[in-house]
Structure 1
Amino acid sequence: MGVKGGASTARTALHLKAPLRRPEDRSTSSPSTSSPSTSSPSTSSPSTSSPSKDAHKLKLACWNIRTMLDKADSHRPERRSALIAHELLRLDIDIAALSEVRLADVGSLQERGAGYTLYWSGKPSDERRLSGVGFMVKSFIASKLENLPTGLSDRIMSMRLPLQNKRHITLISVYAPTLQVEPAEKDKFYTDLRNLIQRTPTADKVVILGDFNARVGKDSETWPGILGKHGVGKCNDNGRLLLELCAEQRLVITNTLFQQRDSLKTTWMHPRSKHWHLLDYILVRESDKRDVLHTRVMPSAECHTDHRLVRCKLNLHFKPKPRNNKAPRKRFNVGNSPSTNLATGASVTAFRGSLPGLLTLEFSLHCINFFKFLLRDVQNLPL
């Protein structure tokens, strides 16, 4: 949920107005002692120096971090990007979609100590910034990107990740308008997101991650194939917008697929009622539901935000591509055989000649016997 007001960043980040350039190296110091992770891991850690043996296994996450700005008058520790990167490293997250980044324009920076690269898309620097989205990606994965992440707006950013055998997965980081926002802004957000999904290649895997500021409830009978049997709470107006998008684009809300405690499903606590709600979601195509091994909240993740991190483990399956060099199977078209020639031995010879090299002697005898029985039945037909 949004915190009003913004401030300029206290660190030297790379701000670009488009397009994104390759990130500059940035040496990272250890986070503040108030951080849950106080020791700086070695850059030679196996989780950052080399990819896993199976490139189709991924650990994704979405996290509303409330802001990436380092404000001098705040009690939060400085170097927010370093703190978040070390938390993702501790949880071994490959790629995290971040909401409410609040950085200006579009840009990137690299946290070398933890081995992550941050990409973001926000509003111009001369406007009030209460939104912003981004990706924090393990640097060895970022180095393999064919194209840098694309910022569609301050609420939507996409990234196309190449996998083995020329396969791809498209990730979309989102931050949806809150319940109090004007309907026109909500319509624009869902229209932009719908168009982006439709432009994505059909062969790509698609994962949409972020804070949708929506409660979808647990009515799996009304929304079969979209909601699992383990939802939380009741649906609100924003939730219906999200469910309608999922129904139209055949998406599944993975947070509701797994039976677990509510504390491992809810992501945000209302400040007045103190009730916990599920607002942050990870969506996949219905045809890719079997790729999702588990989706759950990680309560131990900490970066001085009121949202919990949601982690999703994926094991991607792809259908094998058809082989183009395989010779087509020869088929005999019985419909083109003239019935008048069936009574002659020449017809059998012609039939055998249409399949050179494919008929054995035994099979040929079976064919001859078949035609004998066929001719006997034809002769008994009334004229």
Structure 2
Amino acid sequence: MDTTRLLSKETLMHKTKSSTIPDRSRPGLTTAASSIGNQDGVEKLATGETNVVRLAKEEFTVGTWNVRTLHQEGKVNQLTYELDRYQWHVLGIAEMRWLNSGETTTDGHKLWYSGDEKCHRKGVGFLVHREYAKAVMESEPISSRVIRVRLNANLRNVSIVQAHAPPADCNDEETEEFYDSPRITLDKIPKKDIRIIQGDWNAKIGCDVYQNWKGTIGKFGVGEVNERGARLLEFCKLNNLVVANTFGKHKTSRRVTWIAPDGTTRNQIDFILLDRRCKSCIKVNKTRSFPGADIGSDHNLLMMTMKLKIKKVRRQPNCRIKYNLQQLKDTKCQEEFEVKIGGRFGALLEMEE
């Protein structure tokens, strides 16, 4: 056999192996190694500065759901029952209709809420999975429409704001007053935190304005933008946020978040807004609405999955003190022990006598 031909064949095989990587999802299949344009979540801004968000192997799932009411017997149990069918970490809730603010535990999960002081209307809250409840660093009930929690995560902490915008028939003054509250809340969040603001915005963004708001929204909105939607887009632009649930190419039933009483009118009015610098962390295939979740509401459960590792704070085990009783067989040690114990409990022995 020609030695030169054999060497060239081995060289070719070596080059082929080095330029291909195995596809883990289908064993034995190889695909050409592609260049990674946004490795480790590096995003270059227009100013020339570079923000880096390291991508974690673990996934973090946050959701929002307008449940219409939790002020009914058994509603909270129904909520946790429905969520057990999904993988989730933190759920923001709108229209809880609970009074005042506080925290409670249900089925091991931790629930923080902020409601009206007098009437069972409006009200927002956060339900945190039992395994991650101790990762919550702080919670802040702001109003009956806005609440915030902060979670301990690797590299960067996460601040999540749950909001519930006024309905479409409210005047512009009330709408602007509402937007002031999330804006002030976002300004108070530490700059290094990953910011997520989500909820029922009562606004339609649509897909017709994609070219005008490219980078802020994706191509996969529903319907056409309205006046409230334009206000929401301005809010996103001013605060460097992206609308996470408009980037996935899902079928319409998995993009719609609200169904009218007539059963035919469907819109997308619930949104999850995320820091622009973390856009590459979004798992678009897992960021969508879940129409199968049922709690008697006209809104669908909406969840976003991203690459992030939340710290699990585990309880410290109880340390039991073990005594070496064999040492009491030593006379000297026994005498020292009797003196020590006698000094501590001498008063009690005298009382008994």
TM-score (normalizing by structure 2):
0.68
1:300 Cα deviation from its structure 2 partner: 1.2
Partner of 2:195: 206
Secondary structure of 1:282's counterpart equals strand
User: What pairs up with 1:172-321 in 2 under 5 angstroms?
Assistant: 172-218=161-207, 219-272=209-262, 274-294=264-284, 295-316=287-308
Contact 1:55–1:163 under 8 Å retained in 2: no
1:143 is matched by which residue type in structure 2? K
Unaligned runs of 5+ in 1: 1-53, 71-77, 318-383
1:296 Cα deviation from its structure 2 partner: 0.6
Q: State which of 62, 65, 69 in structure 1 corresponds to 2:64.
A: 62
1:109 aligns with 2:108: no
Partner of 1:99: 94
Q: Which runs of 4+ in 1 moved over 4 A?
A: none
1:175 Cα deviation from its structure 2 partner: 0.5
Contact 2:94–2:200 under 8 Å retained in 1: yes
- Of Structure 1 and Structure 2, which has the larger fraction of its residues in helix? 2
1:289 is matched by which residue type in structure 2? K
Return the alpha-carbon distance in structure 2 between the equivalents of residues 55 and 133 of structure 1.
31
1:55 Cα deviation from its structure 2 partner: 8.5
1:105 Cα deviation from its structure 2 partner: 0.2
Partner of 2:37: none
Count, aligned residues: 252
Return the alpha-carbon distance in structure 2 between the equivalents of residues 273 and 220 of structure 1.
27
Partner of 1:156: 146
Residues 221-258 of structure 1: per-residue CA shift (max 9 Å, x gap)? 01111111111101111111101100111111111101
Partner of 1:326: none
TM-score (normalizing by structure 1):
0.63
Residues 281-325 of structure 1: per-residue CA shift (max 9 Å, x gap)? 1110111101111311111111111110011111039xxxxxxxx
Return the alpha-carbon distance in structure 2 between the equivalents of residues 146 and 105 of structure 1.
21
Return the alpha-carbon distance in structure 2 between the equivalents of residues 175 and 195 of structure 1.
15
Contact 1:131–1:154 under 8 Å retained in 2: yes
Return the alpha-carbon distance in structure 1 between the equivalents of residues 192 and 57 of structure 2.
17
Partner of 1:146: 137
Return the alpha-carbon distance in structure 2 between the equivalents of residues 109 and 191 of structure 1.
28
Contact 2:57–2:307 under 8 Å retained in 1: no
Return the alpha-carbon distance in structure 2 between the equivalents of residues 57 and 159 of structure 1.
19
Contact 1:85–1:136 under 8 Å retained in 2: no
1:96 Cα deviation from its structure 2 partner: 0.4
Partner of 1:130: 121
**Percent identity at matched positions?**
29
Return the alpha-carbon distance in structure 2 between the equivalents of residues 211 and 174 of structure 1.
7
Cα distance change of structure 1 residues 55 and 80 upon mapping to structure 2, 3 Å threshold = farther
Return the alpha-carbon distance in structure 2 between the equivalents of residues 55 and 192 of structure 1.
34
**Root-mean-square deviation over aligned CA pairs:** 1.8
Contact 1:56–1:163 under 8 Å retained in 2: no
Partner of 2:42: none
Secondary structure of 1:222's counterpart equals coil
Return the alpha-carbon distance in structure 1 between the equivalents of residues 57 and 186 of structure 2.
24
Contact 1:264–1:299 under 8 Å retained in 2: yes
Residues 152-202 of structure 1: per-residue CA shift (max 9 Å, x gap)? 10011000101125x300001110111111211111110111111122111
Residues 118-172 of structure 1: per-residue CA shift (max 9 Å, x gap)? 1110010x2x33211000111231123222x21110011000101125x300001
Return the alpha-carbon distance in structure 2 between the equivalents of residues 105 and 195 of structure 1.
21
1:314 is matched by which residue type in structure 2? M
Residues 76-98 of structure 1: per-residue CA shift (max 9 Å, x gap)? xx311111012112212111000
Partner of 2:316: none
Secondary structure of 1:216's counterpart equals coil
